[in-house]
Amino acid sequence: MQRFLIKDTAKHVGEKVRVCGWVNTYRAHGKILFIDLRDISGVIQVVFVPSNKEAYELAQTLRTEWVVEIIGTIVKRPENMINAKIETGSVELSVESLKVLSQSETLPLSIEGDGYEINEEVRMKYRYLDLRRERLKNNMLMRHKVIKFFRDFLDAEGFAEIETPMLTKSTPEGSRDFIVPSRLQAGKFYALPQSPQQYKQLIMASGLEKYFQVARCFRDEDSRGDRQFEHTQLDMEMSFVEREDILELVERMFIKLVETLYPNKKIQEIPFPRIPYAEAMEKYNSDKPDLRKDKNDPNLLAFCWIIDFPFFEKTEEGGWTFVHNPFSAQRPEFVQDVLDKKNLGDIVANQYDIVLNGMELASGGIRSHDPKILEKVFEIMGYKKEEIWEKFGHMLTAFTYGTPPHGGIAPGIDRILSILQNEPNIREVIAFPKTGDGRDFMMNAPSEVSKKQLEELHIKIDSAKTKLDHKKPAKTSKK
Ligand code: ASP
């Protein structure tokens, strides 16, 4: 017999149905037993009466969170028993047969309510139970819809989703890399991508003009605020574009996202205000200003663009480093300054951020596709020629074979979701988040590996030192 989703049962009054799910609540009213049965789609009231002896007796053994299959008839509830709050509130299921598919121990945490008050380590350890919570289930399903929206939107705009490697080489995004030892190339390491930046630019060199990817990025940052070691970004790159093309597309995408999936929210100002970096710092003392007129309105979305970032900033050692992304181009009027390596502090990058309610959603830029200029940028940052070629030779070479002007952006999906779902942090919109210091209490990661694995990887652990290192205070990284 075909399984019905609970939400669909109300349309089938008088019919026999088979439903499966979890015992949400269990109660007895005199001789009658009621359970609320829950599946992905909703909850229905199920009624067991003593005259159906077999099912009734089995029902007496049920406990919450047991998984059951029930066959029965959908009947209309008496008028005074109707619950207008739920989709199936006008009906109930009169049981013919009950089968227990799986039993459950008492849960180690309550899955009723929003659960914010529950110790987060416990929620993480039993994340698969925490995800049974209505709020988190909804966050996951909305995340799916938002990602699907982005995919469909970009597909309709002629973009292709292209996967790039996870095992790769370090790319500078201003953080530390996670590195992976190579077994076959003794003593060598891959880096997990801090972003697909170089690959997406090489995709532009390949002529696949519009790329996107729902990309996982890894950054080994010290616990700082609302960060995770891995995050997901909507990574995009386009050829033959100028800044205006990218801002226009992304703005249109966000407006349509809100209209389609969050119609109750209102965008404070369209077109999104554009604020030069210098002005933002002067006026708001921040490059992520929260422009909401009413900060208590949970449905208000104040987007803005921050443009014209400085290209370089001084390092603590007195040299120069990039502010955002070494692959960005300068605004056209600063080409000569880059080539002459002068007025470095005044050079403006063709780099932009999109900010929403005081949070940086995305960074992007028009890139340097001229190998001479890119090489100069690395020289300015203090790299020696051999080093530049060792690290970025593939980019410089690619750009000598006819690479179109290009640019892109990479909105952070976790951040967007946390704001749209009115969540206080990104962990609430990630299925299996880690703690601020990168621990996964459920899988118990990171963990030690066997001696054999270490030997195969040609790695020796300095146990005296690792114990010490655990106690050292964390150093801060750039981003
Ligand atoms: N690669 C940048 C980042 O991950 C985004 C971009 O410039 O497209 O932040």
pLDDT tens, 443-460?
Answer: 999 999 999 999 999 999
Q: Is the CB of 409 under 6 A from ligand 1?
A: yes
Residue 9, pLDDT > 90, answer yes
Q: How far is the CA of 309 from the centre of ligand 1 (A)?
A: 14
Q: How far is the CA of 421 from the centre of ligand 1 (A)?
A: 24
Which atom of ligand 1 lies nearest, measured to the CA of 196?
1
Residue having the nearest C-alpha atom to atom 8 of ligand 1: 409
Q: Is the CB of 195 under 6 A from ligand 1?
A: yes
Q: How far is residue 68's CA from residue 19's CA, in Å, rounded to a whole number?
A: 8
Q: How far is the CA of 35 from the centre of ligand 1 (A)?
A: 51
Q: Is the CB of 365 under 6 A from ligand 1?
A: yes
Q: How far is residue 448's CA from residue 411's CA, in Å, rounded to a whole number?
A: 34
What tens digit of pLDDT does each residue of 19-45 get?
999 999 999 999 999 999 999 999 999
What tens digit of pLDDT does each residue of 283-317 get?
999 999 999 999 999 999 999 999 999 999 999 99
Cis previous bond, 446, omega within 30: yes
Q: How far is residue 91's CA from residue 96's CA, in Å, rounded to a whole number?
A: 16
Mean pLDDT value across residues 221-231: 84
- The pair phi, psi for residue 228, each rounded to 5°, is -130, 155
Residue among 159, 164, 173 whose CB has most ligand 1 atoms within 8 A, to mutate = 173
Q: What is the DSSP letter of 328?
A: B
The β-bridge partners of 407 are 238, 366
Residue 6, pLDDT > 70, answer yes
Cα torsion for 365, 371, 372, 375, to the nearest 10°? 80
pLDDT at site 257? 98
Q: How far is the CA of 413 from the centre of ligand 1 (A)?
A: 13
Q: Is the CB of 407 under 6 A from ligand 1?
A: no
pTM score, two decimals? 0.94
Residue 422, pLDDT > 80, answer yes
Residue 475, pLDDT > 60, answer no
pLDDT at site 469? 59
Residue 206, pLDDT > 80, answer yes
Residue having the nearest C-alpha atom to atom 9 of ligand 1: 363
Residue having the nearest C-alpha atom to atom 7 of ligand 1: 364
Q: How far is the CA of 229 from the centre of ligand 1 (A)?
A: 16
Could you report how far apart the first and last alpha carbons of the chain are, in Å? 56
Q: How far is the CA of 199 from the centre of ligand 1 (A)?
A: 12
Residue type, 82: I
Closest CA to 398 of 198, 211, 168, 240: 198
User: Average pLDDT of the chain?
Assistant: 94
Residue having the nearest C-alpha atom to atom 1 of ligand 1: 197
Residue 390, pLDDT > 60, answer yes
What tens digit of pLDDT does each residue of 137-191 get?
999 999 999 999 999 999 999 999 999 999 998 777 788 999 999 999 999 999 9
Which atom of ligand 1 lies nearest, measured to the CA of 409?
8
Residue 433, pLDDT > 80, answer yes
Residue 474, pLDDT > 50, answer no
Which atom of ligand 1 lies nearest, measured to the CA of 365?
7
Q: How far is the CA of 410 from the centre of ligand 1 (A)?
A: 5
Q: How far is the CA of 443 from the centre of ligand 1 (A)?
A: 30
> Residue 477 — very low, low, confident or very high, per pLDDT cuts 50/70/90?
very low
Q: How far is the CA of 43 from the centre of ligand 1 (A)?
A: 43
Which range, of 38-42, 73-77, 352-356, 463-467, averages the lowest pLDDT? Answer: 463-467
Alpha carbon 72 to its chain centroid, in Å, reads: 41
3 state SS of 151:
helix
What tens digit of pLDDT does each residue of 72-112 get?
999 999 888 899 888 899 999 999 999 999 999 999 999 99
Tokens of 157: 């705009």
Q: Is the CB of 173 under 6 A from ligand 1?
A: yes
Q: Is the CB of 408 under 6 A from ligand 1?
A: yes
pLDDT at site 90? 92
**Contacts by 416-419, CB closer than 8 A, 24 or more apart:** 416/146, 416/356, 416/361, 417/139, 417/142, 417/143, 417/146, 418/226, 419/301, 419/356, 419/357, 419/359
Q: How far is the CA of 339 from the centre of ligand 1 (A)?
A: 24
Which atom of ligand 1 lies nearest, measured to the CA of 325?
7
Q: Is the CB of 175 under 6 A from ligand 1?
A: no
Which atom of ligand 1 lies nearest, measured to the CA of 197?
1
Q: How far is the CA of 323 from the centre of ligand 1 (A)?
A: 12
